[in-house]
Amino acid sequence: MTDRLQHYIDGRWVDSAEPRTLPVIDPSTEEPIGRIALGGTKDVDAAVAAARRAFESYARTTREERLALLRAIVAEYQKRYAELSKTISQEMGAPAWLSNAAQAATGLGHLNEAIRILESYEFEQLRGTTLIRREPVGVCGFITPWNWPVNQIMCKVAPALAAGCTMVLKPTEIAPFNAILLAEIFHAAGVPAGVFNLVNGDGPGVGAAISAHPDIDLVSFTGSTRAGILVAKAAAETVKRVTQELGGKSANVILEDADLAAAVGGGTMGCMMNSGQSCNAPTRMLVPEALHDQAVQIAKAVAGGIKVGGAFGEGTRIGPVVSQQQWDKIQRLIQKGIDEGATLVTGGPGRPDGLTKGYFVKPTVFANVRNEMTIAREEIFGPVLSILPYRNEQEAIRIANDTPYGLAAYVSSGDLERARRVARQLRAGQVSVNGAPPDFTAPFGGFKQSGNGREWGIFGFEEFLEVKAVMGWEAK
């Protein structure tokens, strides 16, 4: 058991203003592994005040000083890498191999990208007699989720530090220990007091206070669309900048000239990875009507071969989903798919055979799905794939875009120019062609109800900068 009953404020670990605790549950066992303190408005006020004080000096640091700080963080991060990886697996259920290869690795990826950008970024440009100057936006409030916890923290914190901002982080209360480790890493690296602050807590107690706080200049939220709307409403009273990375229901358009085995197999694994708990997961697989049955058999074989087990189990490919609440929601939606007439190909309700405890979900594939069905409309956030047949390319594009979301999309074709043509017509913030891997330099964010603003790379970096015009900088 690990009890971490303090917040990190102004360079110190401090007690909550009003002591309350919350257990942290291992989703592989359903057993508590520790407790955290639940903060509140007073803790947020103290953290914001510290960040506001620190901003005056930190915003004036030089490029070289911030680069040295980021490199020191990288060094400390590498020392604690194995501990971070293990912690992520234990508290949110990612298999050990995934935590090590991807979950923890993303933190280093975002740090190194922030360093690369900062090394050469032009903060000032002269246009005629006017100087265009980019300055740090100020005090930032970060509210982050549990599904890729370190990724979502570091893709905000790293560019904010590089830009010269100070910040208050509310990590998820479901998987919070990785964020506490990050606070220790920042402290050891010499992040000045007040520049980074961490207040643990839930949405109503801490998230709402951050969103509405008059001394926070920007709030960056990653989570559900429903919660993102609440954040935006709370932030509107103080006209602060709001960036949001929200839900998704990503289409995977497989054209008839694609390598069907590779495209369907890769798409199925992409949907199931991280137990389906990725906002950009390719959960709607669109296949030509004539190839539907063949695609279904490929997906069935792939999903049926996935080993589900505890995060540290030998050979585990996907672990549990994160909580009882998530498990219940996924089970409800699987049953909804059956009730609405989709063809259950493999998986289905209940836990996989042999697993009687833990929030485990069967890798599930539905075929003959229509886009108006609930399983094609709602974000399930579990290992559930819907296969939708289409008649022609234009119908595939129409179905792909017929969603309130627009975070990501995927397209596969043996003709690269055709894939590019389809990609241009998909209403999503990020489109992957023929299985292209993630790119830390590419902007990440969505159209429509998938949010606003962008993270990752230079686009994410510039979210933390204000633009100032100084007229008359040069004499005429």
Catalytic residues: 245, 279
Q: Which residue from 153, 206, 209 is spatially nearest to 460, judged by alpha carbons?
A: 153
Spatial distance between the Cα atoms of 377 and 200, rounded to a whole number of angstroms: 33
3-state secondary structure of 108: helix
360 CB-near residues (< 8 Å, 6+ apart): 308, 309, 319, 320, 321, 351, 352
Residues 295 and 285: beta-carbon distance below 8 Å: yes
Report which residue type is found at 271: C
Quick one: DSSP state of residue 467?
E
3-state secondary structure of 442: coil
Q: How far is CA 168 from the centre of its chain?
A: 18
Length in residues, the chain: 476
Tokens describing residue 270: 């992409």
Q: Which residue from 367, 335, 365 is spatially nearest to 350, judged by alpha carbons?
A: 335
Q: Which residues of 234-256 are buried (b: 16+ CB within 10 A; e: fewer)?
A: bbeeeebbbbbbbbbbbbbbbbe
3-state secondary structure of 370: coil
Number of neighbouring beta carbons within 10 Å of residue 49 = 17
Residues 384 and 373: beta-carbon distance below 8 Å: no
Instruction: Give the number of C-alpha atoms closer than 13 A to the C-alpha of residue 325, restricted to the C-beta side.
Output: 2
Number of neighbouring beta carbons within 10 Å of residue 293 = 13
Helix locations, 168-315, DSSP H: 177-189, 208-212, 225-236, 260-272, 292-304
Helix (H) or strand (E) holding 285: strand 284-288
Question: Do β-strands 284-288 and 166-170 pair in parallel, antiparallel, or remain unpaired?
Answer: unpaired
**No. of H helices and E strands in the chain?**
16, 21
Tell me the CA distances in angstroms from 223 to 166, 179, 231, 451, one per residue in order: 22, 16, 10, 10
